[in-house]
Amino acid sequence: AAVKMYQFNIQLRNVSRLCHAKPIVTVNGMFPGPTVYAREGDRVLVNVTNYAQYNMSIHWHGLKQYRNGWADGPAYITQCPIKTGNSYVYDINITGQRGTLWWHAHIFWLRATVYGAIVIMPKQRTPFPFPQPDREDNILLGEWWNNDVEEVVRQGNKLGLPPNMSDAHTINGKPGPLFPCSEKHTFVMEVEQRKTYLLRIVNAALNDELFFAIAGHNLTVVEIDAVYTKPFTTHAILIAPGQTTNVLVQANQVPSRYFMAARAFMDAPLSIDNKTAAAILQYKGIPNTVVPILPQLPAPNDTAFALSYNAKLRSLNSPQFPANVPLKVDRHLFYTAGLGMNSCPTCLNGTRLTASLNNITFVMPQVGLLQAHYFSIKGVFTTDFPDRPPLAFNYTSAPLTANLGTVLGTRLSKIAFNSTVELVLQDTNLLTVESHPFHLHGYNFFVVGTGVGNFNTSKDPAKFNLVDPPERNTVGVPTGGWTAIRFRADNPGVWFMHCHLELHTSWGLKTAFVVENGKGADQSILPPPKDLPSC
Ligand code: C2O
């Protein structure tokens, strides 16, 4: 195993898109940021130096950071922010993981421009469990705002209303030629006839689940969230913010230029699609004058596609890569996830939109929760997060008045070391129904079941897939439905769990687990590094 070192300078850079120029926060002046390459078993040291006038913190999304939450990155959860002029070294050990993940700023909405891919190669002499590609490329899907993103958020918070939608989707930071002034802001991937390409696709968008397809070419899904899957072929993929998907593409069509495109899956028939990002797959030797055609993408409200696509995702579950699904459950959790309304004296109308889990809107602490836990600092959080909602109601067809107001608190759930946890996330329609991509830090989990309507405790568990369910770190809870996940709590620390739609996270759709230390010498949280930022 090797030690890899990276230097990340947080700095502003002027970038123009859609005929607007503005300074954005970047890593090393790059947008998207640099790719972190490593091999399974490596130690990666990333020194982050903050030269910008913003507090910063970087999260290594999907890396488990075993016993070492100090390197996880969410601000005020596992560390205090890196202040202007300061540095912090993320000391990351990559064990038992290989594939595509990503890193992003984990403070306010700064991940809008501060993100990049993490590529973990398998151990030496360990081939992929699928046909070896000739070449590979990263495809990072994102969003672009013409306005300053922080300003957009400030306005939203003041009014208590959703901030403006972004102005475009992007592929590798570029919206593509369907937008004004964007001809030169188009990502082009050159391919050679008969070669096979591995695309490492990341959804780094702030608020949109996305469909992605390439005109004329099939995509073979081989991995999600850095876990190998049973390969299947599809004309389009669906990917939620936070998720990654590796696909194989064969350059086996008439040599030409083909669009690849990404647009939102929004569930809402009202959604106006004016944000489709396009990039070009260009066969070698074909002139730039050839006009590409757009791929067929599922309609923005195509829930049938979403359901059937997600149902095809299965862990590879081979002898070499078994799916170790917990069969017995020590701790059953049931969390409702929904939007609500809270009073807000400074807001328009005196109320503001809010979000909650089990009716609790999470309040960000002033001190890192991991520090508070490790050093037993009192008064920062409580561990009385309820295992189920305070009152049962008809979650998916509740009257607008049920449970609409929420309780504020920094309440966490305490989990015994190595216990097996089943968590059912139940979407509610208190205000509107939305799909919520939930991300758990420090773990992968198995998605053992999902369904529409209310979760039925007596009938639904019988239908769980305990053999080869998809294993991932971010999962969509369907609109007006539920998703059940299982994991073994073998990673001690404080681990954030939240909706990866930045809008909902900022409204409080988040909580954290305190996983206790085990008895063994190697089953407790490692001591914090000396340079850990203080608040
Ligand atoms: Cu990718 Cu807590 O997030």
pLDDT tens-digit series, residues 148-160: 888 888 877 776 6
Confidence at residue 269, expressed as pLDDT on a 0 to 100 scale: 46
Output the CA 474–ligand 1 centroid distance in Å.
Answer: 9
Confidence at residue 448, expressed as pLDDT on a 0 to 100 scale: 98
Each residue's pLDDT tens digit, 465-487: 999 999 999 999 998 899 999 99
Confidence at residue 397, expressed as pLDDT on a 0 to 100 scale: 83
Q: Is the peptide bond before 32 cis (omega within 30 degrees of 0)?
A: yes
Check if 493 has its Cβ closer than 6 Å to any atom of ligand 1. Answer: no
Q: With contact defined as beta carbons under 8 Å apart, do 356 and 366 qualify?
A: no
Query: Helix, strand, or coil here: 293?
Result: strand
- Strand intervals (E) in 123-191: 135-144, 168-171, 188-191
Confidence at residue 11, expressed as pLDDT on a 0 to 100 scale: 98
**Residue ranges, the chain, pLDDT below 50:** 268-270
Strands 407-409, 360-362: pairing kind: parallel
Confidence at residue 155, expressed as pLDDT on a 0 to 100 scale: 76
Q: How far is CA 28 from the centre of its chain?
A: 23
Confidence at residue 392, expressed as pLDDT on a 0 to 100 scale: 82
ipTM, 2 decimals? 0.99
Output the CA 471–ligand 1 centroid distance in Å.
Answer: 17
pTM beyond 0.95: the answer is yes
Instruction: Return the bridge partners of 511, or none.
Output: 497
Please compute, for residue 287, the number of CA atoms within 13 A of its CA located in the half-sphere on the CB side: 2
**What is the widest separation between alpha-carbon atoms in the chain?**
66
Check if 373 has its Cβ closer than 6 Å to any atom of ligand 1. Answer: no
Q: Residue 6 is which amino acid?
A: Y
Q: With contact defined as beta carbons under 8 Å apart, do 496 and 441 qualify?
A: yes
Confidence at residue 273, expressed as pLDDT on a 0 to 100 scale: 63
Distance CA 513, CA 78 (A): 12
Check if 59 has its Cβ closer than 6 Å to any atom of ligand 1. Answer: yes
Output the CA 243–ligand 1 centroid distance in Å.
Answer: 10
Output the CA 165–ligand 1 centroid distance in Å.
Answer: 20
Output the CA 241–ligand 1 centroid distance in Å.
Answer: 9
Check if 39 has its Cβ closer than 6 Å to any atom of ligand 1. Answer: no
Check if 510 has its Cβ closer than 6 Å to any atom of ligand 1. Answer: no
- Domains, the chain, with CATH or none: 1-127 (2.60.40.420), 130-315 (2.60.40.420), 331-515 (2.60.40.420)
Q: With contact defined as beta carbons under 8 Å apart, do 202 and 118 qualify?
A: no
- Cα 247 to Cα 9, 100, 168: the distances in Å are 31, 11, 24
Can you tell me which atom of ligand 1 is nearest the CA of 441?
A: 2
Q: With contact defined as beta carbons under 8 Å apart, do 289 and 257 qualify?
A: no
Check if 104 has its Cβ closer than 6 Å to any atom of ligand 1. Answer: yes
Can you tell me which atom of ligand 1 is nearest the CA of 242?
A: 1
Residue among 197, 203, 200, 239 at smallest CA distance from 99: 200
